[in-house]
């Protein structure tokens, strides 16, 4: 349906623009360089014939494909983000194209001995004979979520070029700063004006997701007392030792590397310490709301116990909720998931319905009044040097978008939950 080289060229034109976000910035977008791709996308949408193309002061992009049917059809939307993760550099991305993948090791960088191997990344074997786009081993790729953008733009272009395909009004939205949890913060749901939407932000082909973690971030600050070590007895308080006690008091097996599916975790991702002060940064995740609240309570309780032990406030915990499980907002409108599932079946794809071990703009948008399940974009190994995406998966995701548009426009389509 969608010509392969056209997909490749569009995707590469996006990933070679550095759009890394910055969690320490208070601006939106958090980095000025995100404007480079945002402006490019706005111009491209106008060039392919999209209507009502807008880009606001925070780089949020919206556009409309008008309905071409003479009866009332729900307004649907498709959403992706154009920033890349600050976990690993997205500057100077040099994509490599692997034609007809043979199922063996891929040398990403010979000089640095960086290898993408199916012995470690078994999913590679799903794509024997396919065309893969990889990194050169020194950066991430940016398929999260420039694959999603590629697919949405390509699907809209296809519908514009094939007016015989009937569809209702379609809105698309591209956001900054999703990777730092702010992608939906300034998204104008009322202006977007869709009855529901889909984020194209999943991984493996076939993924269809409508539940995600409840999420919070925590900063644990441990205060010590610095004294000359030669005269420290009974006086020095080494914050790093207390921080170690705090870390070890949390369940060691409830961490990302030991959990899967709906199992929650505590993830310590940054430590910065000295005798005088140590800061620990955590993310807290759980699909179950009760368990999520219990995790937050546990972190505060550990701090209280250490403070009682030292008879002073040596540990403080600041916890901020980030997003919640969108399942409670999707279940009342499950027909929108069923439509996506049907669209995949029509594209010859077996849907993989599973919980997201993370979050998307869709989780926040669902709580803002825009129910928003998540559909695969096709990439694997996000946020690092081993990221890759099969071109055929991007083609199929594009086809799924077109199929959803067609299904929603069918007069006989039922939009009520089946009993």
Element (H, E) at 395: helix 391-408
State the catalytic residue, choosing from 83, 195, 211, 399. 83
Reduce the DSSP state of residue 15 to 3 states and report it: helix
**81 annotated ligand binder:** yes
**291 annotated ligand binder:** no
For residue 373, give both structure tokens.
Answer: 């399940």
Separation between Cα atoms, residue 102 and residue 124, nearest integer Å: 10
Element (H, E) at 295: helix 289-310
Q: What are phi and psi of 11, to 5 degrees?
A: -60, -45
**179 annotated ligand binder:** yes
For residue 98, give both structure tokens.
Answer: 């692997």
| Annotated catalytic residue 178 | yes
Query: What spatial distance separates the first Cα and last Cα of the chain, rounded to whole Å?
Result: 35
Q: Are 349 and 206 in contact (CB under 8 A)?
A: yes
Q: Give CA torsion, residues 164, 167, 168, 171, to 10 deg.
A: -110
DSSP state of 3: -
Q: Residue 286 to residues 248, 265, 317: CA-CA distances in angstroms?
A: 20, 7, 19
Q: Which of 101, 129, 130 is nearest to 116 (CA)?
A: 101
| Annotated catalytic residue 113 | no
Judging by beta carbons within 10 Å of its beta carbon (0-12, 13-18, 19+), is residue 96 exposed, middle or buried? middle
The strand pairing partners of 319, in sequence order, are: 218
State the catalytic residue, choosing from 136, 151, 178, 211. 178
Separation between Cα atoms, residue 315 and residue 223, nearest integer Å: 6
Please list the active-site residues: 83, 178
Sequence ranges of the binding site:
81, 144, 179, 201, 383
Residue ranges at the known binding site for Zn(2+): 81, 144, 179, 201, 383
């Amino acid at each position: 349906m969608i010509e392969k080289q056209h997909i490749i060229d569009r995707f590469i034109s996006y990933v070679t623009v550095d759009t890394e976000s910055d969690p320490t910035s208070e601006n939106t977008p958090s980095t000025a360089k995100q404007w480079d791709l945002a402006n490019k996308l706005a111009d491209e949408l106008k060039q392919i014939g999209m209507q009502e193309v807008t880009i606001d002061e925070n780089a949020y992009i919206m556009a409309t494909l008008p309905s071409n049917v003479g009866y009332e059809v729900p307004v649907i939307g498709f959403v992706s983000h154009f920033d890349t993760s600050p976990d690993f550099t997205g500057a100077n991305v040099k994509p490599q194209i692997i034609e007809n993948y043979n199922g063996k090791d891929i040398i990403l960088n010979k000089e640095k001995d960086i290898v993408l191997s199916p012995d470690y990344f078994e999913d590679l074997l799903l794509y024997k004979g396919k065309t893969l786009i990889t990194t050169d081993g020194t950066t991430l790729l940016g398929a999260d979520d420039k694959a999603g953008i590629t697919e949405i733009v390509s699907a809209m272009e296809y519908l514009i070029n094939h007016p015989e395909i009937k569809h209702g009004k379609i809105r698309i939205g591209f956001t900054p700063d999703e990777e730092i949890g702010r992608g939906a913060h300034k998204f104008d749901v009322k202006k977007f004006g869709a009855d529901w939407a889909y984020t194209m932000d999943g991984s493996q082909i076939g993924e269809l997701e409508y539940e995600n973690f409840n999420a919070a971030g925590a900063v644990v600050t441990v205060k010590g007392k610095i004294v000359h070590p030669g005269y420290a007895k009974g006086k020095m308080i080494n914050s790093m030792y207390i921080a170690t006690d705090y870390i070890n008091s949390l369940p060691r097996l409830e961490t990302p590397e030991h959990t899967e599916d709906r199992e929650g975790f505590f993830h310590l991702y940054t430590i910065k310490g000295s005798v005088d002060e140590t800061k620990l940064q955590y993310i807290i995740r759980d699909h179950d709301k009760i368990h999520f609240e219990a995790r937050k309570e546990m972190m505060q309780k550990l701090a209280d116990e250490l403070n009682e032990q030292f008879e002073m406030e040596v540990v403080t915990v600041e916890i901020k909720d980030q997003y919640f499980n969108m399942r409670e907002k999707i279940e009342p409108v499950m027909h929108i998931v069923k439509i996506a599932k049907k669209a995949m079946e029509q594209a010859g794809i077996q849907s993989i319905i599973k919980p997201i071990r993370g979050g998307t703009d869709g989780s926040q948008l669902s709580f803002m009044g825009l129910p928003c399940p998540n559909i695969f974009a096709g990439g694997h190994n996000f946020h690092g040097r081993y990221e890759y995406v099969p071109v055929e998966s991007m083609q199929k995701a594009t086809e799924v978008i077109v199929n959803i548009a067609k299904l929603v426009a069918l007069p006989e389509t039922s939009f009520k939950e089946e009993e």
